[in-house]
Chain A
Amino acid sequence: MRRIILTLLVTLVITACATATVKTDYDHVLLGLLQSDFISKGPTKVERILKQDEVQKLCSAEHLNLSDATKLSMQNEQLKTVKFPSDGKYLGDWENGEKIAQNGRGLQSSDQIGAVNGGNCYACHQITKTEVSYGNIGPSLYNYIKSHGKDEKIFRNTWAKIYNSQAFTACSSMPRFGHSGILDEKQIKDVMALLLDPESPVNK
């Protein structure tokens, strides 16, 4: 009797494995296609798109039904990556911040290696009142101080959000500007000033 059960079990396992191998592993095939069909060009590298980090992997699912626990743990892990300004000063030059917010270039296959990257903030956000060509993927940042405040906590959180958006919203559409090396520390300070300097047109 025991032998029969054992045989049955073994058969079941084998069948299960066989069915599993018959089903196409599209993730695997996709990786092969990415490798064969893409060419590194300018600052873009095929190796980089082949290797997804944890955030990219988890956020690539067709329907994002991640559990709250998974989201929370992702956010906490990402928050750990945030490097706050080395000299403790959060605000740079808002005028330069505006230029960074306007600049949509950088890290495209058509861009030069080592060129200054933009933040392209206007692609998704309303920021100043004078720029009417803005996108709507992210929330409006106009009147930032009025709507958010300007205490230490706001400074820290705004910095962290720009540095690594995934620290606050798992699978956010926003790039991780600091973490992914899109903007450097000085540039993030300038963008911070655009949002949080009382003299910036954002707050006028």
Chain B
Amino acid sequence: MKCISKYIFALLVLHISTYTLAQSSSTDEIAKYRELLADGNPAEFWEVRGEELWKKKITPNNVSLEQCDLGKGSGVVKGAYVELPRYFSDVDKVMDLEQRLIQCRTMIQGLTYEQATAVPHGSAGKPSDIEALVAYITAESKGMKMAVSIKHPKEKDAYELGKKFFYYRAGSHDFACATCHSKDDQRIRLQQLSNLVNKTDAQKTYTTWPAYRVSQGEVRTMQHRIIDCTRQQRFPEPRYASDIVTSLIMFMAKNAEGGVYSAPALKR
């Protein structure tokens, strides 16, 4: 309850600040607002539900995800996320967390692909199991350093493809990811843009996803974030949990190497 009243107060602060504060100080205000909420991030509710889902046996196979190998052995969640995406020999493929979760839910738990991807992005009254699982799993890497490998040829391929895509200009507006995210201190309106090829900035950004988004009232995953980027880029929509998005995540994760992981975070 204390957490919720603090939350409402913070929203009020933000609301007032949007009217009274100009250019330079408004980003500071958002930072202050984040700080205010840091010890009461609603993402914790997603983490709790995610842990329950991870340990719950479900039909048809009546097994839990504790048999799922996220890369560090069956059922090992601690530290798994800072090494993803990675190559999985059982499928001979590089997967990010969300692709791997779908793999485990279909192969181990026996769900159909449609069932496993039924609600990738939740909304009021229609929560997403994926977002909850992702919140739980990522939180188990808090405080650890980003350490993605590109040693396996397929990991290297994913990285190179992600990089190619990052610089690929196309569509009605000639935008690439790089158009907005390869220089320091750029802004769209008042929104600061991260420079994803600058190590410090890439670390700061990558280690704070997924995040509880105040504007959406949901925890959003990295796949969701990238899908929304491509929308603003005036590109068509990537399929959920697609290889192109995983490649881009690989590129970003590698650029963020060494950054201390601290998500699920809290964002506007």
Q: Shortest CB–CB separation between residue A68 and chain B, in angstroms?
A: 20
Question: Which B residues from 137 to 179 make CB contacts under 8 A with A?
Answer: 157, 160-161, 163-165, 167-176, 179
CB-based nearest A residue for B239: A37
Select B231's contact among A26, A110, A123, beta carbons within 8 Å.
A110
Structural contact, A109 and B236, CB atoms closer than 8 A: yes
A122 close to B (CB within 8 Å): yes
A107 with B237: in contact, given A37-B243, A61-B167 (CB under 8 Å)?
A: no
Q: Shortest CB–CB separation between residue A46 and chain B, in angstroms?
A: 5
Question: Which A residues from 1 to 54 make CB contacts under 8 A with B?
Answer: 24, 26-27, 29-30, 33-34, 36-41, 43-46, 48-50, 52
Select B235's contact among A29, A49, A180, beta carbons within 8 Å.
A49
A136 close to B (CB within 8 Å): yes
A135 with B186: in contact, given A26-B160, A37-B238, A45-B236 (CB under 8 Å)?
A: yes
Which of A62, A107, A109 has the most C-beta atoms of chain B within 10 angstroms of its own C-beta? A109
Select A44's contact among B160, B171, B185, B186, beta carbons within 8 Å.
B171
A108 with B190: in contact, given A24-B157, A132-B22, A181-B172 (CB under 8 Å)?
A: no
Structural contact, A24 and B160, CB atoms closer than 8 A: yes
B247 close to A (CB within 8 Å): yes
A157 close to B (CB within 8 Å): no
Structural contact, B174 and A180, CB atoms closer than 8 A: yes
Report how many A-B pairs have Cβ atoms within 8 Å.
127
CB-based nearest B residue for A52: B170
Question: Which A residues from 55 to 69 make CB contacts under 8 A with B?
Answer: 55-56, 59-62
Q: Name the interface size band of chain B.
A: 35 or more
Structural contact, A30 and B235, CB atoms closer than 8 A: no
A161 close to B (CB within 8 Å): no
Chain A residues within an 8 Å CB radius of B185: 136
Structural contact, A60 and B235, CB atoms closer than 8 A: no
Structural contact, B190 and A133, CB atoms closer than 8 A: yes
A112 close to B (CB within 8 Å): no
Contact with A along B236-267 (1 / 0, CB 8 A): 11110011110100000000000000000000
Chain A residues within an 8 Å CB radius of B231: 108-110
Q: Shortest CB–CB separation between residue B71 and chain A, in angstroms?
A: 22
A137 close to B (CB within 8 Å): yes
Select B234's contact among A33, A61, A107, A123, beta carbons within 8 Å.
A107
Q: Shortest CB–CB separation between residue A193 and chain B, in angstroms?
A: 23
Q: Name the interface size band of chain A.
A: 35 or more
A145 close to B (CB within 8 Å): no
B232 close to A (CB within 8 Å): yes
Q: Shortest CB–CB separation between residue B3 and chain A, in angstroms?
A: 31
Chain B residues within an 8 Å CB radius of A40: 236
A182 close to B (CB within 8 Å): yes
Q: CA A37 – CA B174 in complex, angstroms? A: 19
Main secondary structure of the interface of A (DSSP, over half): loop
A176 close to B (CB within 8 Å): yes
Q: CA A40 – CA B173 in complex, angstroms? A: 16
CB-based nearest B residue for A34: B244
A107 with B173: in contact, given A26-B164, A132-B22 (CB under 8 Å)?
A: yes
A81 close to B (CB within 8 Å): no
Chain B residues within an 8 Å CB radius of A136: 185-187
Chain A residues within an 8 Å CB radius of B176: 59-60
Q: Shortest CB–CB separation between residue A166 and chain B, in angstroms?
A: 8
Structural contact, A182 and B160, CB atoms closer than 8 A: no
Chain B residues within an 8 Å CB radius of A60: 167-170, 176
Structural contact, B163 and A29, CB atoms closer than 8 A: no
A175 close to B (CB within 8 Å): yes
Structural contact, B237 and A137, CB atoms closer than 8 A: no
Structural contact, A49 and B189, CB atoms closer than 8 A: no
A168 close to B (CB within 8 Å): no
Select B174's contact among A50, A55, A61, A132, beta carbons within 8 Å.
A55
Closest 10 CB pairs of A and B: A37-B242, A37-B244, A175-B173, A49-B170, A44-B236, A38-B236, A56-B169, A33-B244, A107-B172, A41-B237
15 A-B residue contacts at CB 8 Å?
A: A30-B161, A33-B247, A44-B236, A49-B170, A52-B170, A59-B174, A60-B167, A60-B176, A107-B234, A110-B231, A124-B188, A133-B190, A173-B179, A175-B173, A182-B173
